[in-house]
Amino acid sequence: MSLLNDLFAKPLDPGYEDAAARRRAAGERPTSKGTWRSPALAIGLVALGLLLTMSVLQVRNTASVVSSERQGLIEQIHNEDERVSRLQGEVGSLESEIGRLESDLLQNSAAGQQTREEVESLQATTGAIAVTGPGVVVTVDDAEEQSAENGTDRVLDLDLRQVVNGLWSAGAEAVAINGQRITPLTAIRSAQNVIQINYRPMNAPYEVSAIGDPRTLARDFGDGSGGQWLRDVASKSGIQYDVDSEESLTLPAGNTPLAYAVPGEGS
């Protein structure tokens, strides 16, 4: 019991008491490990606050710059769209004016009228102008069940070239595929298993429209190389095709630009 009484009566070791008494007598203040750290901690907190403030300001400035640049690009796109639309309208007006002047110039004489008819015929044949008339539509589509790894059960660019050549041989006056006019500069090719007409990707089914006498055009195409090609390919690969006569077809003008050809000196 005496040990417990001493413990409660004197909780501190006598050595600690003596040391504390000497410090009090010498006028020393108790030291703390945290005392020397408090200035460094305060400086660190201030620096951290400054960094956070600068980061927030930088983010706000960056967001403001990005928003301003984005708005500027949007306005630039709108301005360019308006300019393109305006130029397209001017081109259409100039083309109409040229057509009117040509008509006025050529219709004043028999020779002029004949020349006008020849020009219109050449324009229609070369795809320079849109044309309307009766004809046929040859629709070619992939096989219903596609399983061949080499793609032979899909319509190939070679198939479309054979169809187009067959229609020309059968007497077609103008041809278009899925709305793309076939001109002397048209390329029918395949790139990465995608057929391109005038360098524009196309998807099946492919509608090959041709203007001409519907009766003779359909008959001669079926009897010629184009029809024979389709029959052979259909029997081997399962691709589908159909030939329909149409009372009226409208084919757009070709849009393949000239890269090297320019008007001659005598034009």
Model pLDDT for residues 147-187, shown as the tens digit of each residue: 656 667 899 999 999 999 999 999 999 999 999 999 988 98
Strand partners, 245: 136
| H or E stretch at 58 | helix 38-106
Classify residue 193 by its DSSP letter. Answer: T
CA dihedral sign, ordered 150, 205, 172, 233:
positive
Who's near 98: CB < 8 A, 6+ residues apart?
none
- pLDDT at residue 264, rounded to an integer: 60
Q: Spell out, as residue ranges, where the chain has pLDDT lower than 50.
A: 3-4, 7-8, 32-36, 267
- The answer to whether the predicted template modeling score (pTM) of the entire model surpasses 0.75 is no
User: Is the preceding omega at residue 205 within 30 degrees of 0, hence cis?
Assistant: yes
Residue 107 amino acid letter: Q
**Maximum Cα–Cα distance for the chain, whole Å?**
146
Who's near 254: CB < 8 A, 6+ residues apart?
126, 127, 128, 181, 182, 183, 185, 186, 198
Burial class of residue 54 (count of CB atoms within 10 Å of its CB; 0-12, 13-18, 19+): exposed
Residue 185 amino acid letter: L
- pLDDT at residue 263, rounded to an integer: 58
| 154 three-class SS | coil
Residue 220 to residue 262: CA distance in whole angstroms: 37
Residue 4: other Cβ atoms inside 10 A: 8
- pLDDT at residue 52, rounded to an integer: 84
Burial class of residue 140 (count of CB atoms within 10 Å of its CB; 0-12, 13-18, 19+): buried
- pLDDT at residue 23, rounded to an integer: 65
Q: Strands, E, within the chain: which ranges? A: 131-141, 174-177, 180-181, 188-191, 194-197, 200-202, 206-211, 240-251
